[in-house]
Each structure stands twice: as C-alpha cells, then as structure tokens.
Amino acid sequence: MDNFFPNNDQLNETVDKVKNGTISKILEGKDLLKPSLEYLLDNKRDIIDVDSVNSTTNEIWSHLKPSQKNYLMKLADRINEYRNYDTLNLIFQINGPQKANTPFGNSFYNGDSFSDDKSFESLVLPLGMDYGASFNNLLFQFSD
C-alpha cells in the first residue's frame, strides 16, 4: 500500500496548488492518495476516469492501517495550514492599530473595547443584548 502514498514532488505540487488557490477544497487524508494513483493510472491508460480514481481511492483507503490513515490525515491538516498562509503572514506583521475615518471602521479594524463599560449588566448579559432598562429592574418586574 505504500506505493500509493504521495512522494515529495507530489506533496510539493499539492502544497503549491493549495497556496495559489488551484485546490480550493479542504483536503482530507484520502485526497493525498489521488496524485499517486493518477500517476500510476496515467502510465497504463490514455484517459483517467475521475470516477474510477475516486472509487479506487476509497478502496485503497479502506485497506490502510489506522496508523497509515492517521499519518495521511495529519499530513493533509498540515497542508491545509498553508491555505492563505501569505495573507495571514501579512496580517501578523501589522504592529499598530489601523486608522479609519468612522467609529464603525475603527471598531471593525481594531475590535471593540468592552472593558470601558463596568456596569453589572455588561458583565452578565450576552453581548449585543439591549433590554432598555437596567438589569435590576427586570429582576423585580414579576408579580407573585
């Protein structure tokens, strides 16, 4: 079964496709078997049938040991981490607050500060809840 595992060149090509957006779906461990299988089938046939690749991949996956499946799933997770890597790297390099012309823009780029409100309601109520009256008044509105 190890001959169906992707080689380094196939993995590098897959990472490049994930980074540039050619592969847009989130990869699973099973997906990493497909490049090797397509390569093996390409040498034996002129045309590769996608359905046969998928069914053969499922068949191979069902015969793998749990440790082999685990290895491929972890590898797929690591490859998925490269998705948007360049964009996230640029975001992490932002070292100061972003300035906008409106309060909404400032809140959008820099987040809201909820620590300014020290009232009891802001500590216990879910964010975005507006009861229009103080929390204490709501507690005592119910009659016997």
Full domain range(s) for residue 106:
97-139
Q: What is the pLDDT of residue 28?
A: 92
Interatomic CA distance for residues 35 and 78, integer angstroms: 17
Looking at the structure, do residues 28 and 76 belong to the same domain, yes or no? yes
**pLDDT value, residue 73:** 94
pLDDT of amino acid 37: 82
Does one domain contain both 53 and 106?
no
Q: What is the pLDDT of residue 36?
A: 82
Domain boundary among 90, 108, 130: 90
Number of domains in the chain: 2
Angle (CA) 109-112-114 rounded to 5° is 165
Res 131: pLDDT:
54
Mean of pLDDT values over 29-33? 91
Q: Can you give the pTM of this predicted structure?
A: 0.56
Tell me the pLDDT tens digit for each residue of 66-108.
999 999 999 999 888 888 788 888 888 888 877 888 888 877 8
**Per-position b or e across 59-70, b if 16+ CB within 10 A of its CB:** ebbeebeeebee
Segment 37-50, tens digit of pLDDT: 877 776 665 556 77
